[in-house]
């Protein structure tokens, strides 16, 4: 009996020592979100972009992200781990740590509502409101296999962050539409973007923003503009409804579908936009078709 007590006491001391001096976090919060991991990580990045006290330190895929948050004289680190349950549900674990007051937090958190604990819970409740609002404001339809039909286009080329994609389109829209009028070019379908490079973890894009036109021999006087023909190709397609700022949510849905079904894709989507955001209206009524070319389709 004495040996058992000694063993249990030793294990208890070792456990407490590990928790206080080795375990890297001060507090863990668990929650659920009714969406897929990429929608959560992309919303986190936008949230950080819009708040000066937040920054993204590291991202690994769509299921792990590390944030730094500044609160007065305290710096908190949040390690987000997102576990997909199915296409419309994810479990989220947030491992929080105060870089300066970690030891104090570890002693207080298990026994009381410390200021660190309260602030962490409030911050994460605020985010949960944001992600739930976002979920209600976009839709991605069923994935089908469909052919993208060849398009001759007038285009501009952009390099930007993933979050700034729509802003680049809005900046170049008057140039493209004005050039079509200036040269008497005949439109041949709604505007589109063709992604030519996508760094998922860095959130960096290169893309062509294009207006499809009837082919015409024209000399352009603006070096920012060029003609390009996007070839016919087989692709996965999903319809997106919502603000075009977040149409990249469909990219992840298409990528996940391809992975689950062992389909090789280019990873470089094409988006076709059927509504003009400048006219306003309910964004859930805006439609875009998102194509993910099958590998070697280009």
Residue-wise pLDDT tens digits, 191-205: 999 999 999 888 999
* Domain 22-136 class in CATH: alpha beta
List, by residue range, all CATH 3.20.80.10 domains of the chain: 144-293
pLDDT in tens, 94-103: 999 987 655 4
d(CA 265, CA 248): 16
Q: Which of 130, 122, 119, 126 is nearest to 42 (CA)?
A: 130
What is the reported pTM?
0.86
For the chain, give every residue range classified as CATH 3.30.530.20. 22-136
Q: Which of 131, 93, 123, 81 is nearest to 249 (CA)?
A: 131
Rounded-to-integer distance, Cα 224 and Cα 125, Å: 45
Per-residue pLDDT at 278: 79
Q: Taking the mean position of all CA atoms in its chain, how far away is CA 52?
A: 19
**Tokens at 139, concatenated:** 């839709």
Identify the bridge partners of residue 156 per DSSP, sorted by sequence position.
209
Residue among 242, 233, 241, 244 nearest 292 (CA): 233
CATH code assigned to 144-293: 3.20.80.10
pLDDT band at 124 (very low <50, low <70, confident <90, very high): very high
List phi, psi (to 5°) of 150: -50, 135
Task: Note whether 240 and 249 are within 8 A (CB).
Answer: yes
């Amino acid at each position: 009996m004495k040996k058992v007590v000694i063993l249990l006491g030793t294990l208890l001391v070792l456990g407490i020592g590990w928790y206080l001096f080795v375990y890297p976090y001060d507090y863990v919060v668990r929650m659920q979100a009714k969406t897929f991991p990429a929608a959560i990580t992309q919303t986190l990045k936008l949230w950080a972009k819009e708040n000066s006290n937040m920054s993204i330190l590291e991202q690994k895929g769509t299921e792990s992200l590390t944030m730094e948050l500044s609160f007065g004289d305290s710096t908190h680190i949040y390690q987000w781990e997102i576990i997909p349950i199915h296409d419309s549900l994810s479990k989220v674990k947030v491992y929080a740590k105060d870089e300066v007051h970690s030891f104090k937090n570890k002693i207080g958190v298990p026994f009381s509502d410390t200021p660190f604990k309260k602030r962490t819970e409030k911050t994460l409740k605020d985010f949960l409101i944001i992600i739930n609002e976002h979920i209600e404001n976009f839709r991605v339809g069923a994935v089908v296999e469909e052919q993208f039909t060849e398009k001759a286009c007038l285009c501009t080329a952009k390099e930007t962050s993933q979050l700034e994609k729509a802003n680049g389109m809005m900046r170049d829209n008057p140039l493209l539409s004005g050039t079509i009028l200036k040269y008497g070019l005949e439109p041949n379908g709604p505007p589109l973007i063709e992604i030519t490079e996508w760094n998922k973890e860095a959130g960096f894009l290169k893309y062509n923003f294009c207006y499809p036109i009837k082919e015409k021999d024209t000399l352009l006087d603006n070096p920012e503009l060029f003609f390009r023909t996007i070839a016919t190709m087989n692709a996965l397609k999903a319809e997106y409804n919502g603000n075009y700022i977040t149409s990249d949510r469909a990219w992840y849905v298409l990528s996940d579908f391809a992975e689950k079904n062992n389909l090789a894709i280019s990873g470089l989507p094409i988006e076709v936009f059927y509504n003009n955001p400048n006219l306003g209206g309910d964004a859930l009524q805006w439609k875009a078709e998102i194509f993910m070319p099958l590998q070697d389709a280009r």
